[in-house]
Structure 1
Amino acid sequence: MNQQKISFQSIYVAIFFAQGALIPYMALFFSQSRFDLSPGQVGTIVAIMPILSIGVQPLWGMLADRTGRVRAWLIIAMLGAAALSLTFLFATSYVWIIILMIAWSIFQCAHIPLVDMMTLEYTSRAKIDYGAIRLFGSAGFAIAVFVMGRISDTTWGLASTFLLSAVMLAIGTLFVRSVSEQEPKQVHTTAPFQWSAVWNGPFIAFLIGGMLVFGPIYANNYYFGIYVTSIGGSTTLVGTLFLVAVLCEIPFMKVAYQIVSRLGTVNVLAGAALISALRNGWLALEPPIWVVWILAIVQGLVVGLLIPVALQFVRSLVSRNVVSTAIGVYMAITSGLATAGFNLLSGFIIEYNSIIGVFWMYTVVSIVGAVLFFGLRRFRVKG
């Protein structure tokens, strides 16, 4: 197998393992009695990274577009996040946690857009399916949530999430260094940047729908653990359900483009969004645990289709010379602005209602997002 392909697959395993060991358990970690934080404060903490990514992710994208040194920026971001994640083990006050989350988030939110930029350039050049590489990220995430579910029930506890995340990011930088980077064909440092090349009508319409669809999906990663424990499940069950969901992403990522070739990009995006809404609504009805297992599989289907198809759709909506910036904007709006908003809103809904109210809210906005995606059919775009 091509050594470069193996390196990219290993990078995705490392980055998503680091996220899987941390993000699904972050709300549970800060909800422990030793922190004495309210649900609203916990919601604020987990919303910091998405909020910061609104501005920071496009900045990372612009740095990559202007310098052509994506690999160097990715290594810096991974090492910075690894070092700062260890500091959470010593923070107990709300103010210090907020400060550390801000510093850590600046580096953490750069990982996925930067590695996606590198991978899309490589897959385009090598004529390789992006999904065949990205699915290794899902595998890394799945392994991490399962392992952490086991570890969190031991004497090591939830604090080990930050340690595991730091170790995997440090290992991941070794694989990033092994990737050969294309030399930039021209230097853009003095060229004026034209935002009009990014902010076209179809792209803006897609971002609006994406906020309503991806926001609940990403916020679910933070609050699904609270949902499971609220219905009597353990943290081990949380990890196992995440494992099932993420493992189910892999086959759908593998066949995503075949499905798109049959049904069309917009129909796949809208259909997956509608399925996501139905999944959230079923959870809100408090079904028996065997149904929750089935819905974990459904979640894998949704994410496995949406992530690769949406990313390729973004590439088709903008000019080639601003693809990195467009990806940064897309990540900032969907995994940033939308996730931050839904994390905050979810925290306050729990405080004044319950976790069930959170999933009813996810259901309604996902339906609206699916309708907006269907509306994209009137646009004529490439691919």
Structure 2
Amino acid sequence: MKREMVWRSDYKPDERRYFHMPNKNVFILALFYAFIYMSTGSFSSYIGVYFTEAGIGNTEIGILTSIGAVVGLVAQPLWGLAGDRSRTKNRILMLCTLLSALTVWLVPWAGTAFIPALLAMALFSVFQIAINPLSDAITLELSSKGVVRFSSIRTFGSVGYAFISVAAGWLFARHIDTIFLVTSVIMMACFFLSLGIPTVAGHQSGSSKRVKLTEIFRSRQLVVLYIYTLVLSTTMGFLWAFQAIYSKEQGISMEVIGIGLAIGSFSQFPFMIFFQKFYNRFGIRRILLFSGFIHTLRWCLYAFALTPFTYILSWVLHGGTYILFYMCLAEYVNKHVVKELRATGQMLNSMIQLSVGKIIGGMLGGLYVAQFGFHSAFLLLAGIGLVSTAGFYTVSRMFQVFSDKLEGRVLENVNGMRIPD
């Protein structure tokens, strides 16, 4: 790879320097992201199967597999503040990867008793849920300095996820107990790889002034973005909880469901690889309006015409849903949130998209399905998608949120922090 020098002029005079894009940094971060998402694919996708074979009931399995989202509501903002206030964010990332590799063993040691298993899953989740947003905060800051390109690095995460989904499925079908060994080894590899990631400072460390979490919500744009994200994330939370069950009821085979999930992972690649070009050309507002339309279209396919063909089509469209919000949130927080709260901002992104979205979509969705059925539920999701997208369009037009004129403007408050107008 050709070494590219990038001059950064947005630093203080004594901080200006040339940044290089060496092979080593790209290789380490690409491999790190691949392994991180491999650990997610190996554990989250198959832990329910392990509990089933251990003789644990479906109700208990539902609680055990959702405890991570509940833990994330409290733990993720705290980890974000810890990263921002640490001397380097890398220290917190190293700690979380190492302790994830160790605490995953608490789950098999807990046996089949529900309370010990719940505590084990909760403790593992405390460390595991911080890894992805911390990694994003570090990589995005390195990307802004010209060290790596975030969209390209993130693509390797999906490659790792797609690979492990197939490999782990084959292995766990024969030896489900190896799920903990595989996850622990992968997480330990992540720990060693994290030692080689270029350091990124926690901008509230040392004598730096402490910045309150509430400062993030002073940005009108970000509040609107979070509300829109939360609404559509609840619909995605319902999909992840019930799509396989509903699809089987409609006569979709497990083989087709598996193919659809793999296609969904690969469908994200173009949006990640070319995200920066899309972002620069169309802006966050147009991208998220497009994504809202794709969300709505997917729910219509489930509600009106679920066949093997339309099921596969819905996963071809998957690249236009979750990953676009994920990338836009990550990019927006990195560019517009004060540097003292960027790790916290990435944690909030993850909490809203995954933790809160899964809890609301899964729990309330389950109650709704019990009363009105899946068909009615997906009709409701389509309506929510349409109304929320129209609402985002109206609000952004009415208040000029994310307009070209306002998006680049910032104010300096009394503490010298950059607050989007």
TM-score bracket, normalised by the shorter chain, equals 0.7 to 0.9
* 2:223 match: 204
What whole-Å deviation, never above 9, does each CA across 1:242-265 have from its counterpart, x for those lacking one?
211111101111112222333221
Verify the 8 A CA contact 1:60 1:110 in the aligned structure 2: yes
**Pair 1:83–1:235, CA change in 2 (3 A):** farther
What are the residue-to-residue correspondences of 1:1-383 with 2, within 5 Å?
A: 1=1, 2-27=23-48, 29-30=50-51, 34-38=55-59, 41-90=60-109, 91-126=111-146, 128-152=148-172, 154-157=173-176, 159-182=177-200, 187-188=205-206, 191-200=209-218, 201-233=220-252, 235-285=254-304, 287-352=306-371, 354-356=373-375, 358-374=377-393, 375-377=395-397, 378-379=400-401, 380-382=406-408
Q: Which has the higher contact order (CA 8 A, sep 6+)?
A: 1
**Pair 1:182–1:318, CA change in 2 (3 A):** closer
Q: Compare the two structures and name the one with the higher helix fraction.
A: 1
TM-score by length of 1: 0.88
TM-score by length of 2: 0.81
* SS of 2:104 mapped into structure 1: helix
What whole-Å deviation, never above 9, does each CA across 1:297-343 have from its counterpart, x for those lacking one?
11123234332122112234422322222222222222222222222
Pairwise CA distance, 1:144? 2.0
Percentage of pairs with the same residue = 19
Report how many aligned residue pairs link the two structures.
Answer: 379
**Pair 1:120–1:37, CA change in 2 (3 A):** same
**Pair 1:320–1:128, CA change in 2 (3 A):** same
For 1:12, give the aligned amino acid. Y
Verify the 8 A CA contact 1:47 1:340 in the aligned structure 2: yes
* Gap runs ≥5 in structure 1: none
Verify the 8 A CA contact 1:120 1:130 in the aligned structure 2: yes
Pairwise CA distance, 1:66? 0.9
Once residues 270 and 166 of structure 1 are traced to their aligned partners in structure 2, the CA distance between those partners, rounded to angstroms, is: 40
**Pair 1:124–1:241, CA change in 2 (3 A):** same
Once residues 368 and 171 of structure 2 are traced to their aligned partners in structure 1, the CA distance between those partners, rounded to angstroms, is: 30
Pairwise CA distance, 1:367? 3.1
**Pair 1:184–1:13, CA change in 2 (3 A):** same
**Pair 1:357–1:88, CA change in 2 (3 A):** farther
For 1:3, give the aligned amino acid. K
For 2:163, give the aligned amino acid. I
Once residues 128 and 246 of structure 1 are traced to their aligned partners in structure 2, the CA distance between those partners, rounded to angstroms, is: 23
What do you get for the CA RMSD once the two structures are aligned?
Answer: 2.7
Once residues 189 and 268 of structure 1 are traced to their aligned partners in structure 2, the CA distance between those partners, rounded to angstroms, is: 40
**Greater CA deviation, 108-117 or 196-205?**
196-205
For 1:191, give the aligned amino acid. K
Once residues 59 and 82 of structure 1 are traced to their aligned partners in structure 2, the CA distance between those partners, rounded to angstroms, is: 20
Verify the 8 A CA contact 2:271 2:324 in the aligned structure 1: yes
Once residues 235 and 106 of structure 2 are traced to their aligned partners in structure 1, the CA distance between those partners, rounded to angstroms, is: 29
**Greater CA deviation, 264-273 or 236-245?**
236-245
Verify the 8 A CA contact 1:57 1:110 in the aligned structure 2: yes
For 2:260, give the aligned amino acid. L
* SS of 2:45 mapped into structure 1: helix
**Greater CA deviation, 15-24 or 42-51?**
42-51
